[in-house]
Chain A
Amino acid sequence: MKVVGRLSYIVLGLASLSVAFSYPSLLGDISTLVAEKLGIYVPPILLSFLVFLSLTLTLFERRGFSLPLTVGVMSALYILPYIGGVPVERVPYVALSALPLSLAIVMAPYLHFLLGREKALQGLPESEWNAVVREELRVFLLSMVPGGMLLAYLLYSTALGTRPIALLPTYVVPVIALSIGLLLASVDRTEKPIEKTVLVMRGYLTAGDSFEVRRGSLYERGYELLLVGGTPVKRPVLISIEAENVPHYVLLKSPWDKLFLVKKGEVVEGNTRYVIFLPSTSRVPSFPDSASAPP
């Protein structure tokens, strides 16, 4: 995920750039001070950018802020002067300055999502992951093209936002876009009848290397599956069973270990309904054969 790592820093840079435009007068004074004391002239925008970039990197790297949170802080810093009463007219190219930040706030949570998904799906070949991420980013950037084109048109027609026009109902544009999207998304989603239900049980426990699955005890809202045979080893298991009724839980029991699985979700693919059972993180209830059960 080197691609995502690099993009994260670009996003931080974009966010810092926008904020740098928000504080021209403050940083202008500091720039003058630096020029007087050190005799080096640093343009206020550059100085401002360096200061906010350092702040961003400190929050992200040292303080461990997530990427969306860091960009969120930068967004708050960006709007702070306006809320504090700085007249918008005094900020040169206010619309243009918001452009990098608007890109950052769209990309930051997406990159965060990609990183989170990679952690959830470990063990896949890195080269394939990188290729997939590149493809996804390409589609993601493609999705920004219509909005970007409209934005470019608006910036062009309003002289980079300095002469905003009230002719176009800008407020309504996102609402219209969302409505169209929802309408299109609802097309061709007719549900097919479910012909079979498959219980899918996944877990990691000590079981035989070549076990057989047998039905064990039947409980009120779940049942037990026995993994019999083989030589004990810590291993992943994936068991699928066709079922009429969906239990609330399943207990996987090998002679050396047991695992309590609860229903974590349902997915319908074609005419099959898959009910996924994953290990429970909550306290396992007592079973008749466990020591905590009352006699």
Chain B
Amino acid sequence: MNWVRWLFLFTVLPLALAVITGAISLSYFSLLPASVLAFSLLFEPPSGFSVERSFSRTSLRVGEEVEVRVRLRVDRGVGAVVVQEIFSPALRVVEGSNRHVFFKRPGEKLDVEYSYRLRALKRGQHRISPVEVEGHHFLGLEGSNYALLLDEVTLKVSPRVPGIKRAVLRNVRGKPGTPPVAVTNLGFSSTEFREVREYRAGDPLRAINWKATARLNTPLVNEYEREGFLTVMFYLDASSSMMVGGLEENALETAVASLIPLVLHLLRRGYRVGLYILGHETLLTPVSGYASASTFTRTLTSVGISPKEESLPLAVERTRRVLRGALPVVITNLRRDNFSEIKEGMERLYSLTKNIPILMDVDVYPNLEFGELISTCKKGLREELRFPAIKLSENENGAVLQFLGVVR
């Protein structure tokens, strides 16, 4: 029973008791519950909320922390005020709390400030909800007041990559006698027309084919053949097979953390780089120039595990038009159950590009319990594949450097 009904009942009960027993003095005890009831009716639940919130930063890397400061004001009412924000499990509270409860006293305005620190555990664009405030009547007499204040805030969390990036650049530039494959961006110097395709973010405005655009009412650009640059086409597997490990450290995270510096490095060196994400059917057509780096970074930073499965042979078919002359690189978690499918896909890649595709096999099993055995099994599979295969492990630059060695 609602406790206010109890209160009302016990206001009436002594009166009834006095009538039944004839002991008039028992009726005096209606006074206490009646007094509480009358007093509680005077006050409403806390309301008139206002909130200010600030973040020490909104862009950070995995492992870094952000401080959130919240100031809450409540103007009216009496009772408990619960304030909270909801966010992704990829952000962990390391200091303070994102949920608080305060008491709004009668006749005084509540003005409180609190802060907490969040650590980014995983890359992505993690949203922090608006500030949710609930005001509860101190006797639960009335329903709660509720407000959702301010807008959602997105924290952009990039993978922890600088170490790898530095290592890549130092090792690649430091080798004497090895001429770089590409030094500048060719732009549109080639006159060999290839195709008209849809406009994509990063395409220069001068590439727009205005006539075709006007005719089909959708922005289209002219694509020209480029000469002298090697095209590297990455196939990143984002299917459930990459969900090995936990939310924070898994095969996909390892792959993305290695792939971002690699792509940036190749773009900086003038290579044409393309990307296809298996499962999401996301294609970034091969482009050159560091101007495209943000497109790759944004795409890779936001990629998650796909609920859909997509086989490598199917992905190859879907991307065959951009594959001519490219060096295909497949990044996946090679296992016994997907071995034949990957082998078939790589053979198909070879037949289409005439370049030997490279496999970057993500192996996070050594970090897991009893994972050494699986890791050994994967090594056997890589050898059985008969294509160049590189083991990609967490926090290991070797695979990236080895790959660059293969490319050159």
A interface residues with partner B (beta carbon < 8 Å): 68, 75, 79, 82-83, 88, 94-95, 98-99, 101-103, 105-106, 108-110, 112-113, 117, 121, 123-125, 128-129, 131-132, 135-136, 139-140, 142-148, 150-151, 154-155, 158, 161-162, 164, 166, 170-171, 173-174, 177-178, 180-182, 184-185, 189, 198, 200, 208-210, 229-238, 240, 255-256, 265, 267, 269-270, 272, 274, 276
Contact = CB atoms under 8 A, between A and B. Distances in A.
Given A136-B103, A148-B35, A177-B34, 17 more contacts: A95-B23, A103-B32, A105-B6, A106-B7, A106-B32, A135-B105, A139-B138, A150-B35, A151-B29, A174-B34, A210-B88, A210-B90, A231-B252, A267-B146, A269-B145, A269-B147, A274-B147
A99 B29 contact: yes
B275 to A, nearest CB: 16
B143 to A, nearest CB: 7
Nearest to A147: B35
Nearest to B136: A117
Contact of A151 (B32, B48, B247, B307): B32
Given A68-B6, A265-B143, A210 B302 contact: yes
A166 B71 CA distance: 56
Given A109-B3, A184-B41, A136 B79 contact: yes
A143 B28 contact: no
Given A106-B7, A109-B6, A210 B36 contact: no
A213 B244 CA distance: 26
**Interface majority SS (helix, strand, loop, mixed), chain A:** helix
Most buried by B among A170, A209, A255: A209
Contact of A83 (B11, B21, B103, B243): B21
B159 to A, nearest CB: 13
**Interface majority SS (helix, strand, loop, mixed), chain B:** mixed
29 contacts: A83-B21, A88-B23, A95-B28, A102-B29, A109-B7, A110-B3, A110-B139, A117-B136, A121-B101, A124-B97, A132-B101, A132-B102, A139-B78, A144-B35, A147-B35, A148-B31, A151-B29, A154-B28, A166-B24, A174-B11, A177-B31, A178-B41, A210-B127, A229-B302, A231-B124, A235-B89, A240-B148, A269-B49, A274-B146
A178 B24 CA distance: 20
Interface in B51-97: 78-80, 82, 86, 88-90, 97
Most buried by A among B26, B47, B89, B145: B26
A173 B100 contact: no
Given A106-B7, A170-B28, A181-B41, A209 B33 contact: no
Interface of B: 1, 3, 6-7, 10-15, 17-18, 20-42, 44, 47-49, 78-80, 82, 86, 88-90, 97, 99-103, 105-106, 122, 124-127, 129-130, 132, 136, 138-140, 143-148, 243, 247, 250, 252, 302, 304-308
A37 B304 CA distance: 81
B90 A209 contact: yes
Contacts of A151: 28-29, 31-32
B124 A140 contact: no
Contacts of B148: 198, 200, 240, 274
A46 B21 CA distance: 25
A246 B180 CA distance: 62
A255 B307 contact: yes
Given A132-B102, A139-B78, A173-B31, A95 B39 contact: no
Nearest to A184: B42
Most buried by A among B20, B79, B127, B250: B127
A144 B86 contact: no
A210 B18 CA distance: 65
A124 B30 CA distance: 36
A166 B11 CA distance: 19
A236 B84 CA distance: 12
Most buried by B among A117, A158, A189: A117
